[in-house]
Chain A
Amino acid sequence: MSIDKKDVLKVANLARLALTDSEIELYTSQLQRILGYVEKLSELDTTGVEPTTYTVPLKTAFREDRVKESLSREDALWNAPDEDRGCFKVPQIIE
């Protein structure tokens, strides 16, 4: 699989990243190298092998349905770029 400038721009757009021309160049070649490295795995025959998404042999960790104290609203909004009436204030999305 090969990566070109178009792929990089698409991924950057999905991640809301603005890239300069030189960054596009850089990431295209870097991503190309990373994918090439991972591609090596496809040399192995994995017929009949369950896909391994998790390597830790742990059982599902559950918590009981108990309410714990939440943050104070002041703390919750501490890092908000803008706030109003206890809410995060953001530019409107849909007209």
Chain B
Amino acid sequence: MKFEPVIGLEVHAQLLTDSKLFCGCSTKFGSEPNTQVDPICLGMPGVLPVLNRKAVEYAIKMALAVECEVNRKSVFARKNYFYPDLPKGYQISQYTEPIAERGCLEIEVDGVKKTIGITRIHMEEDAGKLLHGEGPEDAGFSFVDLNRTGVPLIEIVSEPDIRSADEAQAYLKALRDILIYLGICNGNMEEGSFRCDANVSVRPVGAEKFGTRAELKNMNSFKFVKEAIDYEIQRQIDLIESGGKVVQETRLFDSAKGITASMRSKEEAHDYRYLPDPDLLPLMVSDELVSEVRSTLPELPRAKRERFVTEYAIPAYDAGVLTASRDLAGYYEQVVSETGEPKLSSNWIMGELLRLLNEEGRDVKDCPIPPSGVADIIKMVKGGQISGKMAKEVFEEMYRTKKAAADIVKAKGLTQISDEGELAKIVEEIVNANPDNVAKFKAGKTNVIGFFVGEIMKATKGKANPGVINKLLKEKLEA
């Protein structure tokens, strides 16, 4: 029997606010444990949560970016359960009335486009972090750091529209790109500011009913998401084919072994007893707020990619690389506006610039060469002042020293000789000094032209303009 997987993803994205969702504690990552907590996020009695306006704006921003309907009224609910990372004994989330619903996101896998439905986006607070000690005296204990407790999250729930691990990966990447473009989440999977759970089931091809699903957790990189889903699909197919049954459960991905394993926890059906949080009024979103947020939406990755292809006539591949981040795309557009050379600019940025930046793991934001610097080099090559080879040298020097292109060219004496009169003299000398090679050329061995070019380059210390020499040589030799 042939099976097809059915996958839905739940993505948690930490919002880049300065303070927490319901209190003024800092959201800074990596501080000393329990230094960013106050009576509200610690769940002390008698406190009142007050909603962070910016978090709401960010949630609306994401909702609009993925074409969701923003609900004018949504309700915060308490999700009750006991866990040491949850000091109140409940998480404030949204349940029956989330802030946004019914959106979609277009993805592309191997050139095939597909739209994945987004069921809902809701707001909630993050839980704390459980740490596990290394020492023998730490065995049997967990250590709780509540700095993360109350940090604002949005949870983005997809429809079960995804049919392969590759599609899941493409969906996640597209979602993450948008969040980063919007500047509302840093998308860091290792630090956990962008997390993904996957609901995976399989069914015979053609069947309408979904199979029993397993929920996969603990996949903190795109690679692991793919590995975990691929493994889980095969595990379920093998299980069914050998007469077994998939059970509904949570499974953790073990990246060292590349497998998913059932999370051993007390067998208890979840009963979260959601109730509207009596401490918080319904969240009323006005039309004004929605249009205010809409007016701040930047051009999104897909639109930008498509515009780059049509406006600059560069290959889709280039457009994809250049729009990978908003900063890089902006950098490129500045270079193009100064040079009027879309493809050359793309070549320099994708080739030299990204190579140097990647070597150091540096972001384009911290690039030592400003866009005008790259533009200067491109203009010099175009104008014949320096050769392509020299340009690369200048570029590296510029990257290291931050000096202006013109100053480097001057200091290194790199100016290319393009003057025909000056070069003609050198061509003449070299040709006259090598009569045997001239004879070979005349006898039809035209590839000796390479020898002449080499000699001229030697004589000019590589400064001769190759185009001009080739032209002059041919004229001289064919005369």
Partner-B contacts on A (CB < 8 A): 14, 16, 53-54, 56, 58-71, 73, 76-77, 84-95
Contact = CB atoms under 8 A, between A and B. Distances in A.
Does more than half of chain B's interface fall in helix, strand or loop, or is it mixed? loop
A93 B271 contact: no
24 contacts: A53-B282, A60-B51, A61-B50, A61-B51, A62-B52, A66-B19, A66-B24, A67-B19, A68-B19, A70-B26, A70-B36, A73-B32, A76-B34, A85-B33, A86-B35, A86-B145, A88-B146, A89-B143, A90-B141, A90-B144, A92-B132, A93-B130, A93-B142, A94-B264
A85 B38 CA distance: 19
B144 A14 contact: no
Interface in B5-52: 17-19, 23-26, 32-39, 42, 50-52
B210 interface: no
Nearest to A63: B50
Interface of B: 17-19, 23-26, 32-39, 42, 50-56, 75, 80, 82-84, 130-133, 139-146, 263-265, 271, 273, 276, 281-284
Contacts of A92: 132, 139-142
A93 to B, nearest CB: 6
Contacts of B32: 73, 86
Given A14-B273, A61-B51, A93-B83, A76 B42 contact: yes
A64 B53 contact: yes
Contacts of A93: 83-84, 130, 142
B196 to A, nearest CB: 20
Contacts of B33: 73, 85-87
A87 B140 contact: no
B271 A88 contact: no
Nearest to B140: A92
A89 B141 contact: yes
Contacts of B145: 86-87
A71 B37 CA distance: 6
B18 A67 contact: yes
- Which one of A53, A64, A87 has the highest number of Cβ atoms from chain B below 10 Å of its Cβ? A87
B281 A63 contact: no
Contacts of B271: 14
Contacts of B19: 65-68
Contact of B282 (A60, A77, A94): A60
Nearest to A88: B144
Given A62-B50, A65-B54, A85-B143, 13 more contacts: A54-B282, A60-B284, A63-B50, A63-B51, A65-B19, A70-B36, A71-B38, A76-B37, A84-B141, A84-B143, A88-B34, A88-B84, A94-B265
Contacts of B142: 89-93
Given A65-B54, A67-B19, A70-B25, A56 B141 contact: no
